[in-house]
Chain A
Amino acid sequence: MKSVYPKEDVCMACRLCEVACVVEHSKSKDILKAFKKEYPRPLSRTRVEEREAVSFSVQCRHCEEPDCVEACITGAMHKNEEGMVLVNEERCIGCWMCVMACPFGAITRDEREKKKASKCDLCPEREIPACVFACPNRALVFEDR
Chain B
Amino acid sequence: MDYIIIGNSAAAIGAVEAIRKNDKNNLIKIISEEEYMVYSRPLISYLLAEKVTTKRMYFREKDFYEKNKVIKLLGSRAIGINCDQRYVSLENKEMIKFDKLLISTGGKPIIPGIKGLKNERVFGFTTWSDVDKITRISKEVKEGVVIGGGMIGIKAAEALCEIGIKVTIVELADAVLSRALDKEASHIIQNRLKEAGVDVITGSEVSEVTVKDSKVVEGVILKDGRRIRCDFVVVAIGVLPNIDIVKGTNIKVKRGLVVDEHMETNVRGIYAAGDVAEGYDSITGEDRPIPIWPLAIRQGRVAGNNMSGLVTNYPGGFPMNAIEFSGMPTISIGITDPKEDGYEIIKKTDIKKGIHKKIIVKENRIVGAVFVGEIDRAGIITGLIKDKIDIRDFKKDLLYGDLGLISLPKGMRMERLESA
Contacts and interface: CB of A to CB of B under 8 A. Distances in A.
Contact of A95 (B324, B414, B418): B324
B406 A50 contact: yes
Contact of B376 (A67, A70, A99): A99
A112 interface: no
B416 A96 contact: no
Interface string B174-209: 000000000000000000000000000000000000
Contacts of A56: 405-406
Nearest to A145: B418
Contacts of A127: none
A101 interface: yes
Given A8-B410, A73-B42, A75-B40, A99 B375 contact: yes
Interface string A28-66: 000000000000000000000111001110100111100
Interface residues of B, number: 45
B362 interface: no
Contacts of B333: 100
A71 B420 contact: no
Interface stretch (B141-149, B281-289, B290-298, B340-348): B290-298
A10 interface: no
B354 interface: no
A103 B324 CA distance: 21
Given A73-B40, A75-B40, A102-B379, A58 B405 contact: yes
A74 B40 contact: yes
Nearest to A96: B322
A25 interface: no
A99 B384 CA distance: 14
Which of B298, B320, B404 is the most central at the interface, judged by chain A CB atoms within 10 Å of its CB? B404
Contacts of B320: 71, 100-101
Given A70-B297, A93-B43, A100 B404 contact: no
A103 B59 CA distance: 24
Given A54-B406, A74-B43, A97-B322, A103 B376 contact: no
A27 interface: no
Contacts of B297: 70
Nearest to B332: A100
A102 B394 CA distance: 20
Interface in A71-97: 71, 73-75, 90-91, 93-97
B56 A100 contact: no
Contacts of B418: 5, 145
16 contacts: A8-B413, A58-B405, A58-B417, A67-B386, A71-B293, A73-B43, A75-B60, A93-B51, A99-B377, A100-B320, A100-B331, A100-B333, A101-B320, A103-B379, A103-B382, A104-B416
